[in-house]
Amino acid sequence: MAVDAPPPVDQEVETDPREPRRIRLRRRDGNSESRVMLFVLPVLVILVFAGYVWWRQTADLDSIERSALNWHKIRSQAVQHVELTVVASFITVLVGIPLGIAVTRGRLRKIAPAVTIVANAGQSAPSIGLIVLLAMWWGFSFWTAVWALTLYAVLPVLRNTITGLDGVDPTLVEAGRGIGMSAPTVLLRIEMPLALPVIMAGVRTALVLVVGTAALATFINAGGLGGALYSGITLYRFPVIISAAVLIALLALLVEWVGRVLEVVFRPKGI
């Protein structure tokens, strides 16, 4: 009785890797774009800031505008803005990622969809309302602004952490457990490296949100570049308004660049 010959091994090798090859090419294109942005963003910030300095030195400003855009005052407000951003961003990452990991483990996994829905809904809440409500409760201070910014920015980090970990192929997790890895080892060596690109995208989003929302901290006596913006609005001085907006936008671009640098630094090889 004749027996059908098995399919050639070469034929399987030619067809099976097609999809992984497309994934590798897509990943390579994404990594190339990220590397390009690592050089484009700081150059753009430097050029725009140099243009702003030139305009500030040559512009015909009245006494009120010169006072509002005094270099010492702007420098002090920028330092306050950076302090708010750094502290709130650090707490956001410190809270958001572990909380996202926790709700994807064991019995807490059941509430992960509900947490994601709450995170999506909370992102649409007005930030100024959250800041003012907390200020009325805790007082007008730097730390009130920090916690308000943290509550507002933790949502994308939490959401992306849950999404990234849920998107890991279960067969890879089972394979890790099959070779004797413990649950924490599987998390650290398999799940987290694979979920890192999605998590870092949430971190970058949170960083930019913190920078932009920190401009509202001036309303609760927490400082920041929002002070110059508020002065320009109340005094009807458009050069002051535009200057503050440009400086805040440049700081947001700089923070976006920092987020991309951190993503490259912490990204495991081959991902």
pLDDT average, residue stretch 45-55? 93
Long-range contacts of 37-44 (CB under 8 A, 24+ apart): 37/257, 37/260, 38/257, 38/260, 38/261, 38/264, 41/253, 41/254, 41/256, 41/257, 41/260, 42/254, 42/257, 44/253
For the stretch 8-41, pLDDT in tens is 444 333 333 443 444 344 445 455 666 677 888 8
| pTM for this entry | 0.79
pLDDT for res 245: 93
Share of the chain above pLDDT 70, in %: 83
For the stretch 217-231, pLDDT in tens is 999 988 899 999 998
pLDDT for res 18: 40
pLDDT for res 90: 94
pLDDT for res 31: 58
pLDDT for res 267: 74
pLDDT at position 167 over 70: yes
Whether residue 221 contacts residue 213, with contact meaning beta carbons closer than 8 Å, is answered with no
Please give the domain boundaries of the chain with CATH numbers for all domains: 23-266 (1.10.3720.10)
pLDDT for res 84: 94
pLDDT for res 33: 62
For the stretch 191-203, pLDDT in tens is 888 899 899 989 9
pLDDT for res 34: 66
For the stretch 93-113, pLDDT in tens is 999 999 999 988 878 777 877
146 confidence band (pLDDT: 50, 70, 90): very high
Angle at 247 between CA 244 and CA 250, to 5 degrees: 150
pLDDT for res 271: 58
CA gap 236, 231 in Å, rounded = 8
pLDDT for res 77: 93
pLDDT for res 63: 87
Q: 61: phi > 0 → left, psi -120 to 50 → alpha, else beta; which? A: beta
Average per-residue pLDDT in the chain? 82
pLDDT average, residue stretch 115-139? 78
CA gap 122, 145 in Å, rounded = 17
**DSSP codes of every residue in 83-114:** HHHHHHHHHHHHHHHHHHHHTTSGGGGGGHHH
